[in-house]
Amino acid sequence: MDDAGDDGDPVTVKFGGFATYPEGVPAFPEGVVSFTFDDTWAEHASYATPLLAQHGYTGTLFPILSRLTSGNPEYYDTDDLKKMVNAYGMELGAHATSDDTHISVVGWTTEDYETELRALRSWAYDNGFPPMMSYAYPVGPFDEPAYTSVRRFFGYGRTNDTRLMSPTSDYRYAASALVCSSTLTLAQAEAAVDAAKADGLWVNFIIHDLPTTTPATQNGWLRSNFASLVNYCVSSGIAVRAAGDVINAL
């Protein structure tokens, strides 16, 4: 940086003022946990949502829309979704219109991508659901054009890069999350809760299928692990909120 010189001409310096801002979100001084449920698995309706409700918790649902009418018993249907949203207070988020669009969005044209985003929001309106304000990038990755489009349509975008993050982070359209996959231990998930509480951070857990025995899919997590993690949040006293509620607290 160059030094300022004095050439003899008068100089006027004006200060616009000073301001302070809080380092964290006052609503979550001891961290916050979100449970986000991807891909329309039946256990989200039959098990996970009622369990959260027992403790006054809500989460965010990110369904693949075509699975709602597939007739496949592995997935919940539109009536189940209405019950979870309207009776249990779950947040409905946007994810993918079909299995064909449940792919990486990296490299999509802006026109094609925004057609998909409009279709997601239109589906919610046409089926009597509240507007979708949260979005989860299919399978996780994104690029700059996708990021820009998500900012136009939603208030929050979730990826899956495993970081814990501050609720005040500028990366609200690239929010991190921790996939509860078959390789994640319960101890690791509980450690993430501990870290969030200790440092006032936000941990998003991504839940897929919840089998009662050894997971058949890579992203499956034992139902007993999920129940134990929910109970761990209860005993720790950490706040548990839907992703959209965390964003709205900013």
pLDDT tens for each residue of 102-138: 999 999 999 999 999 999 999 999 999 999 999 999 9
Q: Report how far residue 192's alpha carbon sits from residue 105's, in angstroms, rounded to the nearest whole number.
A: 28
Across 142-151, average pLDDT? 96
SS3 state of residue 96 = strand
pLDDT of residue 188: 96
Tokens 């009536």 sit on residue: 79
pTM: 0.88
Q: pLDDT digit string (tens) for 49-101? A: 999 999 999 999 999 999 999 999 999 999 999 999 999 999 999 999 999 99
Q: Name every residue whose Cβ is closer than 8 Å to that of residue 242 and which is 6 or more positions away in sequence.
A: 34, 58, 59, 60, 90, 91, 134
Residue 103 structure tokens: 């792919």
Q: pLDDT digit string (tens) for 224-244? A: 999 999 999 999 999 999 999
Share of the chain residues as helix, strand and coil, in percent rounded to the nearest 5: 35, 15, 50
pLDDT of residue 213: 94
Give the residue among 65, 162, 73, 189 at the shortest CA–CA distance from 116: 65
SS3 state of residue 158 = strand
Q: Which residue has the higher pLDDT, 144 or 6?
A: 144
Q: pLDDT digit string (tens) for 156-188? A: 999 988 777 776 666 789 999 999 999 999 999
Asked whether residue 21 carries a pLDDT value surpassing 90, the answer given is: no
**Among 5-14, 16-25, 166-175, 191-200, whose mean pLDDT is lowest?**
16-25
Instruction: Name the pLDDT band for 20 (thresholds 50, 70, 90).
Output: very low
In sequence order, the β-bridge partners of residue 75 are 41
Cβ proximity of 69 and 78 under 8 Å:
yes
Q: pLDDT digit string (tens) for 45-54? A: 999 999 999 9
Residue 142 structure tokens: 């994104």
